[in-house]
Amino acid sequence: MIIGVPKEIKNNENRVALTPAGVAEFKKNGHTVYIQSTAGEGSGFTDDSYIEAGASILPDIKSVYGIAEMIMKVKEPIESEYELVKPGQLLFTYFHFASSEPLTHAMIARKGICLAYETVEKTDRSLPLLIPMSEVAGRMAVQEGAKYLEKPLKGRGILLGGVPGVPPANVLVLGGGIVGTQAAKMASGLGAHVTIMDVSLPRLRALADIMPANVNTVMSNEFNIRRYIKHMDLIVGAVLIPGAKAPHLITRDMLKTMKAGTVLVDVAVDQGGCIETCKPTTHENPTFIIDEVVHYCVANMPGAVPYTSTLALTNATLPYALQLANKGWKRACQENPELRLGLNVVDGKVVYQGVSDAWGLTYTPIEEILN
């Protein structure tokens, strides 16, 4: 198969969909790979490193879309890319169709085969191509939180781990899923006193078993949240209710009960945020202050560490991409139900219920196309 990797053109996107190691794997399996010039630059991969691995470099995005049978990307195509998609061309990338009607209509009109990273799903209902980015964001939440706790950045001026003779900081993690677990691991590793709250008792049990002694688990409810936040230095928002907006666990009135200089990192901001006063910010201007409480609410946290994020993402996507290239998308999706669930728009038809529901479009069961 001919695989094409365009340079990401969405604002501030420095990740790339394939590393030189990935190119080498495709070559080993007999495929041809074209990379757009400088596509890997933002993640630290030069054109030469791709050439060494066996890829050819193309000068512009048009030639990549023009030649490829499968396009591998990170972010959804933006408007200027719509017309480059060819009928029958396979696109393997994040799409998030339910949040963009124009993108949905454009991909229907272009008759591409749109396989979305975010809906590839395992039988245990986990989302293997979203997990790596949650892992990055969870770990980063504590790194960023520790930074904004510094006085020059308007924080309390407390060191997360303390020092001998001085107690460490108190960290509260709301939600003990992928993001919350990684955040708790980082904060506890630095020596902070960590509390994780979740509504799921089985989840709290599992966390209590694996976390070190400086991590406590507490049931998440308004009473407990109100009680704990008064003593916290850093609070990480990491809740998710699948398919719904995040619940506001920390409300505006609660801010006044917190210590001045407390830092809130609301990772769940991409689902509306679990802190009422959070609104999305960018890496250029990541924080704002309300009632002397620092709010960090960057909606695409992994974008700041493209080297790590690219490797984490491609570790997860490559095995699926190889199946698609080796078998062709149809047979790969017939044989692997995880990949089949990734199909969202196929040959002008919407084959993912969530997308058809979002925009009132006709839903075609994927079985009708695959059988």
Ligand X SMILES: NC(=O)c1ccc[n+]([C@@H]2O[C@H](COP(=O)([O-])OP(=O)(O)OC[C@H]3O[C@@H](n4cnc5c(N)ncnc54)[C@H](O)[C@@H]3O)[C@@H](O)[C@H]2O)c1
**Choice among 198, 233, 266, 270 that is catalytic:** 270
Q: Which residues pair with 281 in a beta bridge?
A: 298
Structure tokens at 267: 């990772």
Answer for which of 269, 275, 313, 332 binds ligand X (CB under 6 A) is 269
Task: Specify whether the backbone of 348 is left (phi greater than 0), alpha (psi in -120 to 50) or beta.
Answer: left
Element (H, E) at 234: strand 234-237
Q: Is 203 in the site for ligand X (CB under 6 A)?
A: yes
Answer for which of 200, 216, 281, 334 binds ligand X (CB under 6 A) is 200
Q: Is 176 in the site for ligand X (CB under 6 A)?
A: yes
Q: What is the distance between the alpha carbons of residues 30 and 212, in angstroms, rounded to a whole number?
A: 47
Residue nearest to ligand X (CB): 177
Task: Specify whether the backbone of 194 is left (phi greater than 0), alpha (psi in -120 to 50) or beta.
Answer: beta
Answer for which of 67, 109, 153, 199 binds ligand X (CB under 6 A) is 199
Instruction: Based on the residue annotation, tell me whether 96 is a catalytic residue of this protein.
Output: yes
Site string for ligand X, 280-319 (x = CB under 6 A): -------------------xxxx-----------------
**Choice among 47, 96, 105, 248 that is catalytic:** 96
Amino acid at 1: M
Best CA proximity match to 325, nearest among 175, 176, 115? 115
Q: What is the distance between the alpha carbons of residues 258 and 14, in angstroms, rounded to a whole number?
A: 36
Please say which residue, 5 or 172, places its beta carbon nearer to ligand X.
172
Q: Which residues pair with 163 in a beta bridge?
A: 166
Q: Is 198 in the site for ligand X (CB under 6 A)?
A: yes
Q: How far is the CB of 185 from ligand X (least distance, A)?
A: 13
Structure tokens at 173: 């993690």
Name which of residues 239 to 268 contact ligand X (CB under 6 A): 239-241, 246-247, 249, 267-268
β-pairing, 70-72 vs 234-237, is unpaired
Site string for ligand X, 207-236 (x = CB under 6 A): -------------x----------------
Please say which residue, 112 or 306, places its beta carbon nearer to ligand X.
306
Q: Is 121 in the site for ligand X (CB under 6 A)?
A: no
For ligand X (CB under 6 A), the number of binding residues is 32
Angle between the 306-327 and 20-28 helix axes, to the nearest 10 degrees?
10
Instruction: Based on the residue annotation, tell me whether 270 is a catalytic residue of this protein.
Output: yes
Q: What is the distance between the alpha carbons of residues 85 and 34, in angstroms, rounded to a whole number?
A: 16
Active site residues: 96, 270
Binding site for ligand X (CB under 6 A): 133-134, 137, 174-180, 197-200, 203, 220, 238-241, 246-247, 249, 267-271, 299-302
